[in-house]
Amino acid sequence: MNARYVQRGESIDHIPGSDMGAGDVIVQGELVGIAKLDVKANELGSLAVTGVFEMSKATGASTAIPVGTKVYWDVAEKVAKVDAESGANKLIGKAVKAAADADETVLVRLSQ
């Protein structure tokens, strides 16, 4: 057997090591997902890995995100940015609506 269908793939199973809240961005290596519901540590939950999400973004000078731009998740600051920062930030997808420097959120279509 080379492959066997398991699920559609919009969401994946995830058992967190600590409590996770709905909307938490979870990074596993190069895979980034968003918690769909609150899940207690060591219990089965799921992460969305496709879809469009409103995400926190960095604000201030030069933080605008044009539509269609690749967007990265800054794990340390917990915000979306356009800078990969030499691989420290994880690719999460592309902006589907422009966000200005002062905007606190950006709409991102997950795609890694």
Domain assignment present for residue 6? The answer is no
What phi and psi, each to the nearest 5 degrees, are found at residue 90?
Answer: -105, 130
The CA distances from residue 105 to 11, 18, 33, 56, in Å, are 23, 26, 17, 4
Indicate the number of domains in the chain: 1
Residue 94 has pLDDT above 70, yes or no: yes
Domain assignment present for residue 102? The answer is yes
Among candidates 29, 21, 17, 24, which has minimal Cα distance to 112? 29
d(CA 44, CA 13): 7
Domain assignment present for residue 5? The answer is no
Q: What's the mean per-residue pLDDT of the chain?
A: 94
Domain assignment present for residue 25? The answer is yes
Domain assignment present for residue 1? The answer is no
d(CA 72, CA 23): 16
The reported pLDDT for the residue numbered 34 is: 97
Among candidates 27, 16, 2, which has minimal Cα distance to 110? 27
Residue 23 has pLDDT above 80, yes or no: yes
